[in-house]
C-alpha cells in the first residue's frame, strides 16, 4: 500500500525518509512536489 505522500507527490517513501534524515538533499522541484501534496509553501523544505 502506498502512502499519501508517495502517491500524491510521486516520491518513493525511501527517498522521503532519506531527506528527513539528512542523507538526501531536497531539490527545488522535489520541494515543489511535496509542497503541492502537503498544501504549503515549497520554501519550507529548502
Torsion of CA 45, 1, 8, 25, to 10 degrees: 30
Q: How far apart are CA 46 and CA 38, in angstroms?
A: 15
What domain range includes position 34?
Answer: 4-45
Supply the pTM of this predicted model: 0.75
Alpha-carbon separation of residue 24 from 1, 18, 38, 39 (angstroms) = 23, 5, 19, 22
- Tens-binned pLDDT, residue by residue, of the chain (46 aa): 566 655 667 888 888 889 999 999 999 999 999 999 899 999 999 9
Give me the number of domains the chain comprises.
1
Amino acid at each position: 500500500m502506498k502512502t499519501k505522500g508517495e502517491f500524491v507527490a510521486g516520491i518513493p517513501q525511501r527517498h522521503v525518509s532519506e531527506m528527513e534524515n539528512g542523507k538526501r538533499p531536497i531539490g527545488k522541484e522535489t520541494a515543489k512536489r511535496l509542497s503541492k501534496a502537503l498544501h504549503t509553501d515549497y520554501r519550507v523544505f529548502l
